[in-house]
Amino acid sequence: MKPYSTPPLLKSLVAALALLLVAALSPLTQAQAAMNASIPADIEFLDEVYSLAWTSDPAPNYSKAEYLPEDEELPYYYNMLLVERLSGATVKDVVRAQVDFIKGLRENEDPAAGGRILNLMENPNTGEVLLVFVMSAADEEREMIWEWNAYRYSPVQTANGEEAVQLFGYSVRHYGNDDSVYDFLEELDDANAERVNAVLSAQIP
């Protein structure tokens, strides 16, 4: 079995935060341990149980976890939950970086790459931001990957009181180069409200 590596579209947050990580990087081993300890083994979402499938600590102040339903596996999933935490940054900074990344996909030399923001809204009472967007790319064999994402960014604090950002995200995928993508896009449109509401109302672990 090959070691799991983040697929092209899932590198979005890492790419968007690259500059922030350099600026915010500091030896936060205690805070990182606290974040990792709070990551649950399972999350119930839309009446289905998602189990922890992969975790990583790309930097001392950045941790991430990915969850899948029982019948799916990485890297070619169809439904996935993401929980990511970054200390030393603000929600505004992280969202701006992600939006810039999505917009930058349109300028990619690869004609298969693309991204479009569907919704961006902020809750002034909580400081949370919801970003809904779609992306497309081709894998190494030039098969198209279509991805819908709803990212909920929340301001949190680390164990030592430092400002941090937590991402709770839901990602849905479709694979293939045929006309079935139109069924996928139509299904997304029909289920968009339900999925967005589920992300907004989810109890963040």
Residue 13 lies in a domain: no
Closest CA to 112 of 134, 141, 145: 145
CATH classification at residue 112 = 3.40.1000
Q: Which residue has tokens 């990551």?
A: 39
Q: The whole model's pTM is what?
A: 0.83
Residue 191 lies in a domain: yes
pLDDT score of 23 more than 80: no
- CA distance linking residue 188 with residue 178, whole number of Å: 17
How many domains in the chain? 1
Write out pLDDT tens, residues 60-108.
889 999 999 999 999 889 999 999 999 999 999 999 999 998 888 877 7
**Token duo for residue 177:** 């180069």
Residue 10 lies in a domain: no
- CA distance linking residue 23 with residue 189, whole number of Å: 38
Residue 21 lies in a domain: no
Residue 12 lies in a domain: no
> Would you state the pLDDT for residue 190?
85
Residue 20 lies in a domain: no
Question: Which amino acid belongs to residue 95?
Answer: V
> Would you state the pLDDT for residue 29?
41
Specify the pairing of strand 62-68 against strand 114-122: unpaired
Residue 76 lies in a domain: yes
Q: What is the mean pLDDT of the chain?
A: 82
Query: By the 8 A CB rule, do 199 and 82 touch?
Result: no
The proportion of the chain whose per-residue pLDDT surpasses 70, expressed as a percent, equals 78
- CA distance linking residue 80 with residue 78, whole number of Å: 7
pLDDT score of 28 more than 50: no
Residue 117 lies in a domain: yes
* CB crowding 153-169: b at 16 or more within 10 Å, else e: bbbbebbeeeebbbbbb
Query: Which residue range is the domain that position 132 belongs to?
Result: 29-139+146-201
